[in-house]
Amino acid sequence: MKNVAILIPNYNSYEAIQLCVESVRKYTKHPYHMIVYDSGSDNKCDVEYLRKARREGWIELIESYEFKKHGEALNFLLNERCKNEFDFAAVLDDDIYIKGEGWLEDMLEEAEKEKVLAVCDYREDLHYYHTDIYELWFSIFNLTAYRDGMQIDWRLSYADLREEPYKTMLGGKAPPEGAIPLRRGPNFTINDVGAKLLVKVLGENPKGYEVVPLPEEVRGKYRHWGTMSNALWSIMQRGAMKYWLGKAVKINKALEEIRT
């Protein structure tokens, strides 16, 4: 039986992290070890819930201010915490909601294939240089392949790719029609992990490892709510209150259903 870690970086995600943890518990049959890395959440909702989940034996909880960014937490979890103990590591954002059984088994079946480095969500409809192929909010890594020369420093910034970013990342292909570079300050952090993974696979991969899309049957078994860690900040922005409150209501409803 393959030894699987489920890795969840978290920061102030409120009820979303509760739904993530409890939906994993409800709909996951394959043996797993769930690890939540909390980057210093400063609200009682997250802190008290995660500590209770640790006491109940649901999760391993790492509370640390050392790595504040999502990618930094992944860097630690994949490169250090999972260094020798696990065969596979599933990465879930803190606002992922598992909706059906068999999701992990389906992903493992793909990840166990020869030369597969990772199985990731696949999007063809995005219009940014950095995300038109792979997303890492819901993925699984074959750690044997990952350790075999493909280990990635997730902390690297997007600044390294600013010269012809689409050429570097897409193997010389032109970006999709209408594509635009998305910038968030001097150091790109949104989906930076996906950019670095793709560059590594395309440019520094002599053994031919592949990143492959999710099996189609998995798509209906999860939902990604989207940036719930920023929900309270976004509520303060003009025009966003109705959207975020509506999302929070839906998350709480799903959480009630999970608990019944």
Q: What is the DSSP letter of 123?
A: -
User: What's residue 245's pLDDT?
Assistant: 74
Instruction: Give CA–CA dist 198/184, Å, rounded.
Output: 19
89 Cα distance to chain centroid: 11
Q: Which residue has the higher pLDDT, 97 or 177?
A: 97
Instruction: Give CA–CA dist 106/216, Å, rounded.
Output: 9
For the chain, which domains are there? 4-225 (3.90.550.10)
User: What's residue 254's pLDDT?
Assistant: 94
User: What's residue 152's pLDDT?
Assistant: 65
Instruction: Give CA–CA dist 100/87, Å, rounded.
Output: 23
- Sign of the Cα torsion 171, 176, 177, 182 reads negative
Q: What is the DSSP letter of 128?
A: B
Q: Which residue has the higher pLDDT, 200 or 34?
A: 34
Q: What share of the chain has pLDDT > 90, as a percent? A: 38
Q: Is there a contact between 24 and 103 (Cβ–Cβ < 8 Å)?
A: no
Q: Which residue has the higher pLDDT, 32 or 116?
A: 32
Q: Which residue has the higher pLDDT, 248 or 205?
A: 248
pLDDT digits (tens, 9 = 90+) for 222-246: 998 875 544 454 555 555 566 667 7
Angle between helices 241-259 and 15-27 (to 10 degrees): 30
Would the pLDDT of 164 be above 50?
A: no
Residue with tokens 């690297």: 156
